[in-house]
Structure 1
Amino acid sequence: MDIKSYIDDNVIFIVHDNYKTTLLKIINESPLLNIKIITINELKKKLIFEYNEKTIYYVMKEENLSYNNAIEYIESLYYLTDELKNSKLIRLNNLKNKLEENNLLIHDKYFSSLLTNKKVYVLGFDHLLKLDFYLIDQLKKVTTVNIIEEKPRSFEHIVLQFKNINDEIEYVANEIIKKINFGINLNDIYIANFNTEYDSTIKRVFDFYNIPINFQNNSSLYDTSTGLKVLNNLDNYESVLKEIKDSDLYNNILDIFNKYYWIDNYFEIKDLLTEEFKKKKITTAKYQKAINLIDLKNHPIKDQEHIFLIGFTEEFIPTIYKDDDLISDLEKNELLEPTEELNRIERETWLKIIKRIRNLTITYSNQGLKGILHPSPLIAEMKVEKQEYQASNYSNISNQFNLIMLLDEKNKYGINHPEINRLSGTYPNLEIYSYQNSYKKINPKLIKKFYQNGLYLSYSKINTYFECAFKYYLDNVLKLNEYSETFDTYLGSLTHYILSKIYEPDFNLNTTKEEFLSTHPFELTKENIIFINKMVDELKFIIQVLKEHYDLTTFKEIECERKLQMEKYDGIKIIFTGIIDKIMKYENNIAIIDYKTYNPKIDLSLVNYGLKMQLPFYIYLIKHFYPEAKITGIYLQPITRDIIKYDPNKSVEEQKISNMKLVGYTIDDEKLVSLFDPTYEKSQFIYGMSTTSNGFKHTTKILSDRNFNLLADIADMQIDAAVKNILDANFEINPKIENKNNLSCENCKYKAICFVKHDNYVYINADKDLTFFKEGLE
């Protein structure tokens, strides 16, 4: 297509987003002309409506939706017409009317005047959808519109099949080197259909060949420690901002907050801010001369450009549409294509794209990093040629890497690749199977620089360190453990939230549930909602039991979800944080309770190893914030709906009550215990608590005030030990074994990284008799 022939004064181009950059470069060659470029997405907003953060916030609150679902609802409003033929479209139209009434849809009243005496060209689209044609028809009411279609071409291409992704990208890298040697400009070479399946392999292989490549910038504000710190301190975000030294980071975060000037309490919009932080990409430097990634859809390709279309499998090409949109096929109107039509368009579009590109190499692999891959169904239209791995003439390090891979394959599966002999002869001194799994200590100065803004610790982080220092390193320094909220974690948060509100005078279970759902959006399925309602119904019984204890106890002062944070200083700031589910107080007497959704067992036998110290850490924090406090008890409380141990002699209700008893240690002061639990002589609320004529029964778990204080001292000592070792960069592979039980590796996700050996294990002895209470601290 000769785009230059359409460039003239007073012209408006309507293009796809992918086409805009290319068109701008051409137009900039004629800077004095009055030319405007509008993307089809911008046109939609100018002709129908635009929306902003206020709109999204309103829909989230009004419809009780997550951020992404709210946007899906708003985007669906573009497809509404005067004909509302079903309840879904009526509901959406009602939402649109509410948004109009609240001035939350923005209309461009002056756009039509911009079109006067303008020539409008629509170009660069592989396919126009029904809504696109509707928008064009609206333009035609005020000006002349010409749709410019690219002439069809019919280049034929062979599809190259490879055994695995490594072999596929090895081939691509070698072909790129050949093209460069042949005089092809590096900036005229592109990789299409880049996806996360190929990310690590392309980075590794291209590094082997010193091929520069500009990857898509996927790092966002949300991925930075600064961004997370701001989101986690919304009540004091301005102070956090003042600590930011990077001006770009500071301005990006400030710009986001300025968009929400109309909000008084930023906690209300934490979900919106989180999404904003995820969308805001961090600017990264790019090579001026490099391979670039390209989206072939609606993108002009010049004949001198060379495209590698990788991953030509059904998992990626073509996109398979399903009838799972907000507006289903049965509910769609004349502006929406049914799913079958979308899939037909997708197939035809890809065939058109492939045929119009002169220099195109198409590849796919049988084996991906996550399992078997299947060729694209479009392969039926093309010839397939099987390719075997061949050693390279351009990279020694690549050859050595692949020799090791081939020898490993031979050793494991008996597969003797024909390149083994040639490569073994070329690299006879290559060390194979000499891998050492030991941690090579890094400079402690680097760790201190890493934590220059503060070392944030909690019970779980310290427990991880003492379980295995290398696991802590991977989790908290290399940050390989990416957190993503699951329905299970969401359910746990909902349960804790409800239980934190039950002692408020105006508590209402359903209101509290709805409050959480509206302020903590999550993409819930119908099954999820059913499960939530069932769980909330079962919480009624749990709340009843908790309230019965509250009615009887003298410990009436309750704090729930109490966040305690204290600081130390050891060259850098050390911040230790704990969130206690429930604190019950009477005068200076305090009981600590942590809810568990499983059958808990409190175990103090490993505290001298820094393990299983959640409650001792809580004692330590309580003692710090309430120096005069006397600990009455430390407990774990099961709030599971399941019957943990069936007893045929008890009713279901009796068993549920028994299952909810507090599990832990109580002060050895009967008078104080009677105030906390008036039923203590045969306790209804504390597991194993009972008395005889001589005092507490021998099976009752009791501790003295001195014992509780000692636990706080041990916690303090273990925090200091963890801090010292972390800042000294001591991250050895040292999982703990106690009585043949592996305490560290059973559920560890890093087994494929550490390759733990027998001599890495540290064997420890549990102090089952808690002799440290008698011996004290050494």
Structure 2
Amino acid sequence: MQIIKGMHLNKKLNELAEHLQGPAYIITENTEYVEDLFLNKYSCLFDIEVLTLKQYIDKILISHKQFARHIYSQADLVFIMRHILSCHTFNTIQFSSNSYEMILELINTLKKIHRNNITLEQFFEDTLLSKKCEDLYTINSLVPGGYWTIEEMVEDLIDDSLKTPLYIMSDDYPHIASKELFKKIDNYVPVTLLEMTDADEVLNEYEDTIIHHLFDNVDVHNVAKGRIITGGHPMQECMKIACDIKSRIVNEQLQYEDFMIITNQASYSDYLTICFDELNIPATLSQNETCHYNSDYRKMSRSLSECKGHTFKEIIQFLQKQDISASMIKTLDAYKCDDEISPEEFDLFLQCIIPGKRETNKTGVIVTSLEKGLTATQKHIYLTGINETFLPLEISDKGFLMEEDYKQFNPHPLLLDEQLQAHYKRIIQVLLNPYLSYTFSYSKKNMAANELIPSILMSRLSDLFELEYINPPLNLIKNNLYLNQSRIDEDPINRLIDHYKMTSNQPEFIKDTNKLGRGVSISRLETYNKCPFSYYIKYGLKITEKREDTLQSSELGSLCHYLMEKCLDDESLVDQEAKHYIEENLKEKYDGHPMNQYFINNLIEDMKMTIKIIQKQLKLGDYVPIAKEKEISGEIGGVPFSGIIDRVDEFENMVRIVDYKSSKKEVDFNLAIQGFNIQMLVYLDMLCKQENKDRAGMLYFNMKRRMLAREDDSWGTSIQREILKEYRMEGYMVDDGSTKSVKALGISPDLVTPIRVKKSGEYYNGAKVVSPDELDQIMEYVEKHISELYEKIHEGLIPIHPTLMEGAQPANDFKVYPCNYCPYKSVCLFDVFENENRIIAKDMYKKLKGDD
């Protein structure tokens, strides 16, 4: 095969167009772009045809009169996969009624395996990977006749009947199966690959800088001029783009076809559709209608609540009597069988098999994806959504098979680094488009009001382009688009829209405060402080997440706490106690489930190390454990509380409390004086009052296994210090000036907590030590917040008002922002236009300490 290398695709295709003598096929997924480029050279294409790989393979099938071959449809695969999982037992896969995410992931994994010619019968030392491969092999063998990929469909038909040479834009086809097919075709007709790889090319300064310095840190100067637009949120960003285009069409006498918008996010197409409709701007937008907006789906989903059927056949016969289209009735016919399924699960099944509706205009402003963002003629180009994790895309290691798994296969698909490099090439290729002007845009927040930051690409573009900030006139958007687009003449929905906007998406206060729950605890108060509405859903309405039948992290946490309680004095009891706990609490999930056994057995081994570490910590100092799972009670701020402390250690009349956590956690006084992270403070205060003891400290012990540079069972002095430092506890020690509480940690307190002491007896900067007076002042704030929160609960106030620390990024701030992992997002539907975050101070403790 001949390979034409070079990063500048446009130049390579122009050269090809000048010298190509037909007949020839050009294979690409960007057919319109290549056709336009060739038509700039020739008035028509006689013996040169531009095809997608699918169209080329269809030609081969037709020439061999193979009309029955077909690729599995997504709907068929979902149905087949569900049937296989429900009828067979596997090592690493467990079927349940809500397994559709897993089913889709398995389909994607098997597609990747077929696209890359991966053999599943390979030997691996990794037992878990072997079991996964065994399951995948079984599933693959159980799928009935059909093809997973277009390459499989035609590979046995490649012969000397092929006559026409091929020119292939090979970056459109990264999979190994495609490359192997091209090699096979090359045995019969010449195949030339056009690849985006570094090569000697004649480049101008702009092209050279973009190709070689867009993704490095080399100092560069401006090589071109550009424009930049920022939006408060993606909808506003799209509004500004639409208004800018409208203004330029009027002021610069341009045509709609002169503009191209490139986006890496599907949601931008929806926002642009709304804005373009408002300004009557024609565009080549694909109108995507997901299944939730499909009229057939809505009718079927509503009627399923009345369905009494328990099999596919019974439910489908019931649905076919509803007012649905003839095409949907025919679609459902394919799935009539006696497999059992509930109406609730059938709704999930429908969501997976109903295809979206796509209608695409052919003229107007070109709106396209990064993969299709190529133009043969000069355009005014907009590159949108240049925010962190979106552009460049955050490529993550998720799936049934992980990156480390794929590395062990031979051959294997593109690994994460290779995928990222391919993504970078796409961005480079977009910026090498012939252009009249380039406009870059990003948003400051997403539609859920979470902070967004411009990506590192935006920073680099600022180095390469002399950017002019553009602020288009939004008054071109005559109507208030938000919600008004949903109005329907003489429909009750208009009254609901008015009420929604009048109340700003806020619930009314609760008159019957018994509905907010009768009891109170520290964790409940903190939940209310984070977001009153989530408190109401959880403790008032008592709505909880559906309990998964898979192994939960909370169950592993309970096992850890149990082993800490029973085996702290003797780590040799871990296996015995773990076996007892599993028999009593996890037997169903352990027996016959190799995946669960793998996680639990690893956890038990980790706990042996963890207990050994704690024993070493205790031997270093004078603190002695006097209680485990200690029950305490008392009153704080006039509110009665009770709780359980994982461990209480004592030295003389001083006590420190230790809380076991499965992840890293710290005592944060800045959060505490604002009503968060107060559990350890409250428990220590109640314990000392209850037992008439002095406060010595409050510490968190992270039970998660550390990744050590080296491990050694001999526990030599140097390795022992390294391990102990990795497992240090986080929190604060209380020093009344005598330093007794810290000295009791041992001769090297920094091996137990991050506290270092100078020879003079003073502490190094950053030592987590607090005086009793400071602690009393902090407790005054804590008591004040407890009283205020308790009062608000009993006033029935439940606003949608999640808390965010000043200047924090919600996507990364795991300390406070409750929306990150809130299970009630789909209930509250935080509205970026109506709702606001409650901002708390970032450095209040530091300021208060300075004032004092």
TM-score normalized with structure 1 length? 0.46
TM-score normalized with structure 2 length? 0.43
